[in-house]
Amino acid sequence: MPKYTMLFELKFREVIKAISGYDKVCYRHGVWNPYILTDTKSVIKSIEKSGYGVDLRRDDSTGMYYVSIPSDGDMW
């Protein structure tokens, strides 16, 4: 079972800065949705549009970043 380190919770600029040097990250919009390997530039555009902030985790064994953006439905 992979071990994840939480790097940021509900942040914007910090997450963008952390993932900017990578081509792809695992991304999900809505906390109940699965992660999908996605182009980082697309993820950054989604982060910039998010009104709730972004969580960023890293898989300690692979170094892969996991970006989670809450959706409106998550807030109700």
Exposure b/e, 21-47, CB count within 10 A at least 16 = b: eeebbbbbbeeeeeeeebebeebbeeb
**For the chain, what is the domain count?**
1
pLDDT at 75: 59
Residue type, 7: L
pLDDT at 27: 98
On the CB side of 3, CA atoms within 13 Å amount to 2
The boundaries of the domain holding residue 58 are 4-75
**pLDDT tens track of the chain, all 76 residues?**
679 999 999 999 999 999 999 999 999 998 889 999 999 999 999 999 988 889 999 999 999 999 999 887 665 5
